[in-house]
Each structure stands twice: as structure tokens, then as C-alpha cells.
Chain A
């Protein structure tokens, strides 16, 4: 059974940093790209970042230059380093698995990031 478990969310002050992690199990992790999607309170889904199995990252314009995605295939984890956080980054952050770099067939339960003073 595919499982994705996010961690690392919490309260951070504006301008601060936070590192999210997603622990994956139940599939051959290194063979899959991975994705982060976020959802601000009461709002829709926003694609944030994706990383290929080889480690090539892509970013939404809204986070480019501030967020960095990485992965550790030996630990089956994907990380999202978030810097220079603003209130607009407040959201639930979901880890999701894209099948063949396309549709997101498995999602984690999400981790809440709150940026506030």
C-alpha cells in the first residue's frame, strides 16, 4: 500500500524558514517523481514544486527562488526547504505522487504551515 506521510509543519514568523519532509513507502520510490501541492485556508489547490526521480526540480512562479525541493532515495523521502516565508505561504502542504510525471494518484494527509507574527 502506498503511503505518504508529511511532517515539519508549524508556526513560523514572516521571513523565517521551515523544512517539510514527506516519507514514502509501499512503492519503488526512486522510480517516481514527487510533488508538493498546497492549499491556503478556504482556497483551492496550488501546485508548488515537483522533482524527478533523478533530482531535477521545478517550481511555481510564486515560490521560485525561495523554496528548494530535494529528495533522498536512500531514505525514501522528499523535502521542501522554504525560506523567506510570508503570510501568503500559509497553507496545508500536501505531498503527492505523480504517475509517469502526470496525474497525482496518491496524496498524503498534509501538514499545516502557518506564517504569522
Chain B
């Protein structure tokens, strides 16, 4: 089944404790991205990657890191999480080459930083 998977689905952590949220897709998509969704706000892009070893900042990159060493994986790293990073996070992927390709979202990771 074609899908985007994220782990963990739920995470409660404390301020300053480094964490990684994994994202993997099995559709051979070049383009992957991370979003956060907060109440009363639309989804906002954190980082995106056009292909392996190519990453770029989205609209709200502060406090986050990403890496793209393999085509299928795009982990999101919070080196020193803070309470304002409490949010619902989505990974997404699509084919590159056209902005009209459908984007597939993962199931989400709900992160709470205390």
C-alpha cells in the first residue's frame, strides 16, 4: 500500500531533550516536506527536500533540522525542543517535476513539550 509513515504518533517530552520524528514513504517520491499544524492556523511548512541531499527552509524553520540521506526517509530533528514547538506535525511527499502532483500526507505526530 502506498503510504507515508511517521513515528512516533504521540510524543511527550521535556524542554531541551533532543528528539527525532521519523518519516518514510514507499512511493519513490523525490519531494518530501514537514508541516506543523496549530489550532487557528493553517498548516505551515517547516522544511522541504527536492531530492536526496537537497533540503531547504520553509516558512517556520527555526528550532528544527532535517536530513535527506535516503530517498525514502526524511527525519525531523528538534535538537533542543521548547514548549512553543508543541504541535501536530505532518510529513508529506509527492513526485517532483510538476507542482500539480498530488501530495500525500502522513498520519501525523502529536508532540507535547513540557
Partners in one complex: no
Residues of A within 8 A of B (CB): none
Residues of B within 8 A of A (CB): none
